[in-house]
């Protein structure tokens, strides 16, 4: 997915939130906004949205002098989700189809995102949404069939806090098939994306091999990934890609990818044919070059 003009003011909004997360000094906020505004004319719309976000945050962190302004919020999200782990395990045990419920919980957990302007509420809200909301795009049966016929699963993680729900889903995957699972995190902090420290904090290493993408992009940009990570990618029978950023980065790939996400912005929602906030479990389909980035102004 290429960058849409609507992505640029979104970057400005993210810049201001990152600055405010670090300091109350409005002079610093202004310097951040001026710097990001200055880089926008130089950004190519041929880049994918996570690539321009990556460039923007490198500049933001340089100005504010903090390479991880959301560290406390990430730790709190991990702890809060972990505190609900036993209750969510019971929800899964009591459900008619625990794997489907785990998928829906993992998608609802994708709400924990400090990038887009999206109110994620709390863990109780996430559970209620997961149990009450249908999947706007539902390729669950294809995912289940793929897992039962696979040996290697690559799971591309997204945000801190959310990864507790990812762990629960991985545990359910292991209950239906003997698969080896590799979980991918960011090399360095960016927004509230999960790093190795976050994965270890929630016990992800007890259910999967945890590896770094070797990149601090807020998505899996294959051209930036390590040789090790690409080896896992190419050998995987199934790839589960969490979050909007991974969809934006990998929507033209032709691997056996299942995207699990909530649509958080109008560009992606229209591209997928869903509403903002909808839950999506979508299997990758071959690229259609005739499909254009939506024109949000036509309605």
Specify if 295 maps to a domain: no
Q: Let me know whether 53 and 182 are in one domain.
A: no
**pTM, rounded to two decimals:** 0.91
Q: In the prediction, which pLDDT does 126 show?
A: 76
154-181 residue pLDDT tens: 999 999 999 999 999 999 999 999 999 9
Which of 38, 64, 90 is the last residue before a domain boundary?
A: 64
Q: Let me know whether 169 and 279 are in one domain.
A: yes
Measure CA 139 to chain center.
18
Specify if 292 maps to a domain: no
Residue 218's domain is classified under what CATH number?
3.40.50.10880
Range of the domain at 33: 7-64
Write out the E strands in the chain: 135-138, 152-156, 180-185, 209-212, 238-242, 257-262, 279-283
Mean pLDDT of the chain: 90
How many residues comprise the chain? 299
For residue 111, with 0-12 CB atoms within 10 Å meaning exposed, 13-18 middle and 19 or more buried, which class applies?
buried
70-106 residue pLDDT tens: 899 899 999 999 999 999 999 999 999 999 999 999 9
Whether the per-residue pLDDT at 119 is higher than 60: the answer is no
pLDDT band, very low/low/confident/very high, at 289 (cuts 50, 70, 90): very low
Least confident of 30-34, 66-70, 169-173: 66-70
Q: Let me know whether 83 and 209 are in one domain.
A: yes
Whether the per-residue pLDDT at 137 is higher than 80: the answer is yes
Residue 69 half-sphere exposure, CB side, CA atoms within 13 Å? 23
174-192 residue pLDDT tens: 999 999 999 999 999 999 9
Q: In the prediction, which pLDDT does 125 show?
A: 77
Q: Let me know whether 183 and 167 are in one domain.
A: yes
Specify if 39 maps to a domain: yes
- At residue 219, the 3 state secondary structure works out as coil
213-259 residue pLDDT tens: 999 999 999 999 999 999 999 999 999 999 999 999 999 998 899 99
96-112 residue pLDDT tens: 999 999 999 999 888 87
Q: Let me know whether 273 and 173 are in one domain.
A: yes
Whether the per-residue pLDDT at 34 is higher than 90: the answer is yes
Specify if 291 maps to a domain: no
Q: Let me know whether 48 and 116 are in one domain.
A: no
Whether the per-residue pLDDT at 122 is higher than 80: the answer is no
Question: What tokens does 77 get?
Answer: 């999200």
CB 213 within 8 A of CB 229: yes
Number of folded domains in the chain?
2
Q: In the prediction, which pLDDT does 130 show?
A: 76
Whether the per-residue pLDDT at 22 is higher than 80: the answer is yes
Q: Let me know whether 41 and 94 are in one domain.
A: no
Q: Which residue has the higher pLDDT, 291 or 50?
A: 50
Whether the per-residue pLDDT at 286 is higher than 90: the answer is no
């Amino acid at each position: 997915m290429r960058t849409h003009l609507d992505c640029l003011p979104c970057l400005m909004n993210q810049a201001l939130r990152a600055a405010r997360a670090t300091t109350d000094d409005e002079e610093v906020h202004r310097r951040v906004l001026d710097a990001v505004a200055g880089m926008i004319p130089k950004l190519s719309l041929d880049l994918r949205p996570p690539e321009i976000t990556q460039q923007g945050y490198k500049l933001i962190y340089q100005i504010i002098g903090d390479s991880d302004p959301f560290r406390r919020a990430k730790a709190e999200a991990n702890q809060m989700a972990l505190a609900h782990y036993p209750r969510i395990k019971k929800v899964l045990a009591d459900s008619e189809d625990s794997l489907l419920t785990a998928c829906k919980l993992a998608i609802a957990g994708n709400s924990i995102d400090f990038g887009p302007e999206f109110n994620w509420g709390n863990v109780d809200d996430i559970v209620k949404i997961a149990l009450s909301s249908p999947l706007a795009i539902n390729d669950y049966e294809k995912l289940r069939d793929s897992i039962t016929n696979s040996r290697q699963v690559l799971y591309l993680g997204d945000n801190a806090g959310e990864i507790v729900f990812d762990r629960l889903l991985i545990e359910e995957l292991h209950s239906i098939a003997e698969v080896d699972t590799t979980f991918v995190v960011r090399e360095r902090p960016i927004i509230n994306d999960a790093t190795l420290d976050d994965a270890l904090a929630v016990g992800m290493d007890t259910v999967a091999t945890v590896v770094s993408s070797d990149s601090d992009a807020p998505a899996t940009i294959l051209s930036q990934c390590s040789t090790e990570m690409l080896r896992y990618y190419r050998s995987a029978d199934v790839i589960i890609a969490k979050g909007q950023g991974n969809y934006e980065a990998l929507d033209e790939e032709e691997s056996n990818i299942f995207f699990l996400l909530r649509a958080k912005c109008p560009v992606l929602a229209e591209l997928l044919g869903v509403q903002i906030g909808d839950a999506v479990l979508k299997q990758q389909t071959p690229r259609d070059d005739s499909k254009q980035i939506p024109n949000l102004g036509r309605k």
